[in-house]
Amino acid sequence: MSFINYSSREINCKIVYYGPGLCGKTTNLQYIYRRTNPEQKGKLISLATESERTLFFDFLPLALGDIKGFRVRFHLYTVPGQVFYAASRKLILKGVDGVVFVADSQLERMESNMESLEDLKINLAEQGYELEKLPYTIQYNKRDLPNIVPVEEMDKLLNIRRVTWFEGVAVTGKGVFETLKAVARQVLFELKKHY
Amino acid sequence: MSDSNLVMYEEEFRKIDAELQKLHQQSNAKVVFLVDKNGQLIASAGETHDIDTTSLASLTAGNIAATGGIARLLGEKEFTILFHEGEKDNIHISLIGQRIILVVIFDSRSSLGLVRLRVKKTSDAIGKIFNEITQKVEKDKGEGKLEESIFAEISDEDIDNLFR
């Protein structure tokens, strides 16, 4: 649910990075944070455990520029990927405008990817959304690691909706901004449909 | 996408701002602000310059969401008031009409009793303003006014420019 403020001339949109534990959601946000000009970003907030696992969410506000005189602000969130944080994941999807699914390319993580995708669908449905109708993109992350599954195979397994996808190496930034841009584009075009 | 996108117009924004200014003065608070339940800052009043209001808004909404989750687990619909007490500053968080969060930060110059009293009055007034906004959006949508808005003209180039 975006927030359009005609008074301060701002559009605010919420984008959530979803995916199994350790797939690189937080790493995506950290890279975006590092590579954005100071005047375009707020603080990167991480509610994480001592071992740097996301406990509740990461949050990064971005104001990349203006469209038609309106300042466009994206609020990027990640969910905690670990299975037992299910209740928290649900909360973060509230009011979401667009979703990025970050999949882990390692062979041994395929099952976790599928579980997480199923979890995403269920949690969206509980908030009254359908994954099929939401601005949505997929990132096949960790392409630099050995023992990875070919992208075509992952696509068959995870990309039922045939959305745009990107290969990613979030630690080096490969595919990170491409993914964000793809989902941002869909979110803004969705606004066009409604307003 | 949900049809319940939040829209704010100049006129209603001024009314909300006036209510917040009033609350800020009457409750002797340091800062008051209004946040959408999804974590977006709507308006604020008081000494906001030292505070990262964007982060505060997002964390407040997270707080309300988590507390709401706990409430449902216990069979409650929602906990409508949260209060955190610090050594110097205290924070009073309350829900207005299930949708908007009103936050008041205050120190020893005020008291919890005073804040609660004033928050109650402001909540009613702000609740009414948001009802007006909802009606206005419905009306504009019905008349097709919103479709002529800026979003109709968003192009690929606009989006490319954001990511340059």
Q: What is the pLDDT along chain A (195 residues), one digit of tens a residue?
A: 788 888 889 999 999 999 999 999 999 999 999 999 999 999 999 998 888 898 899 999 999 999 988 999 999 999 999 988 988 999 999 999 999 999 999 999 999 999 999 999 999 999 899 999 999 999 999 999 999 999 999 999 999 999 999 999 999 999 999 999 999 999 999 888 776
Homologous superfamily (CATH) for B10-162: Dynein light chain 2a, cytoplasmic (3.30.450.30)
Ordered DSSP codes for chain A:
--EEETTTTEEEEEEEEE-STTSSHHHHHHHHHHTS-GGGB---EEEE-TTS-EEEEEEEEEEEEEETTEEEEEEEEE---SGGGHHHHHHHTTT-SEEEEEEE-BGGGHHHHHHHHHHHHHHHHHTT--GGGS-EEEEEE-TTSSSB--HHHHHHHH-TT---EEE-BTTTTBTHHHHHHHHHHHHHHHHHHH-
% pLDDT > 70, chain B:
93
Question: In chain B, what are the domain boundaries?
Answer: 10-162
B37 near B64, Cβ under 8 Å? yes
- Which overall architecture, per CATH, does domain A3-194 show? 3-Layer(aba) Sandwich (3.40)
Inter-chain residue contact B159 with A181, CB threshold 8 Å? yes
A38/chain B closest Cα distance in angstroms:
14
**Cα gap A137→A101, rounded to integer Å:** 6
Q: What is the pLDDT of residues A4-34, one digit of tens each?
A: 888 889 999 999 999 999 999 999 999 999 9
Question: In chain A, what are the domain boundaries?
Answer: 3-194
B94/chain A closest Cα distance in angstroms:
18
- Per the DSSP assignment, residues forming a β-bridge with A96 are none
CB pairs under 8 A between A and B: 142
Closest CA to B163 of A62, A101, A31: A62
Contacts of A47 in chain B (CB under 8 A): 62
**Cα gap A124→A49, rounded to integer Å:** 25
- For B6, the closest chain A residue by CA position comes to A3
Inter-chain residue contact B9 with A59, CB threshold 8 Å? no
